[in-house]
Amino acid sequence: MVKKNNNHAVDPHSLWNESTRIVQGSQHADPIHGGMNAPLHLSTSFKWNTVNDDGGYDYSRTANPTRSILEEQLAQLENGQYCSTHGSGMSAVTAVAHLFKQGEHVIISKDCYGGVFRLFNDVIRYFGVEVSFVDLKNLDQVRDVLQPNTKCIWAESPTNPLLRLVDIKALSIIANESDAFLVLDNTFCSPILQKPLDLGAHIVVHSLSKYINGHCDVLGGAVITNDKDVANRIHFLTNAMGIGSPAFDSWLILRGIKTLNIRYRHQEKTAMFVAKTLAKHPLISRVIYPGLKSHPDHDLAKRQQNGFGSVICIELSGGLDAAKILAEGTKLCTLAVSLGGVSTLIEVPAFHSHASMTKAARVEAGISNGLIRLSIGLEEPEDIVNDLVQGLELIRNITDKQKIMCSVNNYDYSI
Ligand SMILES: Cc1ncc(COP(=O)(O)O)c(C=O)c1O
């Protein structure tokens, strides 16, 4: 856990635009040799100056200089004072989840990422923490489930996979009234679109494996806060549980961050093109993308975010079988989980990212078997659309024999 470095009389970073800071962030982190990139410290142990002076670093599970550079840059990006980085998004979530004790209560969005659902439902609950999954868009419902022992409201905005937004300011007011933390998972927006601490959240969580690293080649997570007590406890837990980010992973993420702004903005522009084009396709019953006027949270997205992101969900009129044909039939869009990388990915949440939720919880959250999630990458927009359209044609062109089989299964492929 590193505190943002405020030692400079005038921090030169504060004079730059964010897009410049993102590129330059770790560039001056090697004062000894002036290396263009942050130094990679692979030592597990560091020499003590005297028996009671470790010179700042002792053992890499506790802290590592390369990890510290990443933590400082992320704190700055999120306008936070403290940041700790972890071996995956789930280990960041695990660190925060361990702030709560037996007998305490946490409220979580019912359509959160499946791994977060699994951790709280199947692990944290068994340590005696009470967990309620609710629709955080319904503020009355949130107030109804609040209890004197409620310590946390845990939100994603937009949610994975349905891209529903929550009103962060409104939730932070409820959290403050109840002396609870508002934790905001900012993975989908990244700090480019949204800075939850500025909107009232107390703790920000990230899966760095997504946009922030951006190349699908490293796992990472982060916790950012302005609360010193939270920061100290997270630092303690990180060391105690051994869940800090490894040095090489931190270094790779520092390299990925440099192109975050440009990647994110380009992917977002392509996503808007793809969403608008798919919205006209007769086999698609619904395109879910906050940038479309048809999205129920379009106005909130315009107010609360600085853009719309590059994840799109689509629902096919042919249901599960149609989703399977499309997901297996694309050539450019790779059938794989994760999101926010440079390559376009396609997946079926019920079978992939949200398979760890119970079927009942998926139904409750509104995740149908026929829902497809796309993470738009950096390929040419026309190539992505053409690939999806040829995949959709496979559904249209299924043979009469398949149609008969589908009708036996009660699926309706009539177009
Ligand atoms: C919103 C969200 N939070 C947390 C995670 C977990 O991150 P990781 O896969 O890096 O452990 C994910 C993973 O997909 C996610 O989508």
| 3 state SS for 68-128 | HHHHHHHHHHCCCCEEEEECCHHHHHHHHHCCCCCCCEEEEECCCCHHHHHHHHHCHHHHC
Q: Closest ligand 1 atom to the C-alpha of 219?
A: 10
pLDDT at residue 415 above 50?
Answer: no
Average pLDDT, the chain: 92
Ligand 1 contact via 157 beta carbon (within 6 Å): no
Of 227, 257, 287, the residue at which a domain comes to its end is 257
Residue of 114, 120, 117 whose CA lies nearest to 99: 120
Of 209, 233, 257, the residue at which a domain comes to its end is 257
pLDDT in tens, 61-92: 999 999 999 999 999 999 999 999 999 999 99
Ligand 1 contact via 347 beta carbon (within 6 Å): no
Q: How high is the pLDDT of residue 12?
A: 61
Q: Closest ligand 1 atom to the C-alpha of 90?
A: 11
Annotate 319-373 with DSSP letters as a single string.
Answer: HHHHHHHHHHH-SSSEE-S--SSSS-EEE-TTTTTTTTS-HHHHHHHT--TTEEE
Among 111, 167, 185, 321, the active-site one is 185
In a domain, 128, yes or no: yes
Ligand 1 contact via 167 beta carbon (within 6 Å): no
Q: Is the peptide bond before 161 cis (omega within 30 degrees of 0)?
A: yes
pLDDT at residue 201 above 90?
Answer: yes
Burial label, 351 (beta-carbon count in 10 A; 0-12, 13-18, 19+): middle
pLDDT at residue 398 above 90?
Answer: no
In a domain, 415, yes or no: no
17-31, 138-152, 153-167, 241-255: which has the minimum mean pLDDT?
Answer: 17-31
Half-sphere exposure of 274 (CA within 13 A, CB side): 35
Q: How many domains does the chain have?
A: 2
Q: Ligand 1 centroid vs 338 CA: distance in angstroms?
A: 8
Mutating to test ligand 1, I would choose from 210, 219, 249, 353 the residue with most ligand atoms within 8 A of its C-beta, which is 210
Sheet holding 221-225, edge to edge: 2-3, 82-86, 221-225, 203-207, 181-185, 150-156, 105-109, 130-134
- Same structural domain, 183 and 154: yes
Which H or E run includes 185? strand 181-185
- Same structural domain, 253 and 266: no
Ligand 1 contact via 88 beta carbon (within 6 Å): yes
Contact 324, 351 (CB under 8 A): no
- Mean pLDDT, rounded, for 279-298: 96
DSSP H helical ranges for 152-199:
168-177, 190-193
- Same structural domain, 73 and 141: yes
Token pair for 373:
């999630």
pLDDT at residue 407 above 90?
Answer: no
- Same structural domain, 86 and 134: yes
Q: Ligand 1 centroid vs 412 CA: distance in angstroms?
A: 34
- Same structural domain, 300 and 312: yes
CA triple 409-413-414, angle to 5 deg: 130
Q: How high is the pLDDT of residue 15?
A: 83
185 is an active site residue: yes
**pLDDT band with cut points at 50, 70 and 90 for residue 39:** very high
Q: List C-alpha distances in Å: 368 to 296, 373, 386.
A: 18, 11, 25
99-108, 320-329, 332-341, 401-410: which has the minimum mean pLDDT?
Answer: 401-410
Ligand 1 contact via 311 beta carbon (within 6 Å): no
In a domain, 108, yes or no: yes
- Mean pLDDT, rounded, for 113-129: 96
**pTM reported for the whole predicted model:** 0.93
pLDDT in tens, 299-315: 999 999 999 999 999 99
Q: Ligand 1 centroid vs 138 CA: distance in angstroms?
A: 24
**pLDDT band with cut points at 50, 70 and 90 for residue 150:** very high
pLDDT at residue 146 above 70?
Answer: yes
- Same structural domain, 151 and 218: yes
- Same structural domain, 188 and 241: yes
Spacing of C-alpha 14 from chain mean position: 26
In a domain, 414, yes or no: no
Contact 77, 69 (CB under 8 A): no
Q: How high is the pLDDT of residue 86?
A: 98
Q: How high is the pLDDT of residue 408?
A: 40
Among 57, 82, 113, 264, the active-site one is 113
- Same structural domain, 295 and 319: yes
Q: Name the phi and psi angles at 10, rounded to 5.
A: -120, 115
- Same structural domain, 226 and 320: no
Is beta strand 221-225 parallel, antiparallel or unpaired with respect to 82-86? antiparallel
The residue behind tokens 């010179």 is 55
Ligand 1 contact via 87 beta carbon (within 6 Å): no
Ligand 1 contact via 245 beta carbon (within 6 Å): no
Structural domain span for residue 388: 261-408
**pLDDT band with cut points at 50, 70 and 90 for residue 391:** very high
Ligand 1 contact via 111 beta carbon (within 6 Å): no
Q: Name the phi and psi angles at 54, rounded to 5.
A: -90, 0
Q: Check which CATH number belongs to the domain holding 54 and give it.
A: 3.40.640.10
In a domain, 156, yes or no: yes
Half-sphere exposure of 35 (CA within 13 A, CB side): 9
Q: How high is the pLDDT of residue 319?
A: 86
Token pair for 150:
């409620």
In a domain, 237, yes or no: yes
Q: How high is the pLDDT of residue 413?
A: 34
Of 205, 225, 257, the residue at which a domain comes to its end is 257
- Same structural domain, 332 and 396: yes
In a domain, 164, yes or no: yes
Among 4, 137, 164, 210, the active-site one is 210
Is beta strand 2-3 parallel, antiparallel or unpaired with respect to 105-109? unpaired
Residue 33 carries which side chain, given as an amino acid letter?
Answer: H
Residue 140 carries which side chain, given as an amino acid letter?
Answer: D
- Same structural domain, 189 and 103: yes
Residue 403 carries which side chain, given as an amino acid letter?
Answer: K
- CA-CA-CA-CA torsion sign (169, 175, 180, 183): negative
Among 61, 169, 269, 276, the active-site one is 61
Mutating to test ligand 1, I would choose from 157, 207, 219, 337 the residue with most ligand atoms within 8 A of its C-beta, which is 207
- Same structural domain, 77 and 190: yes
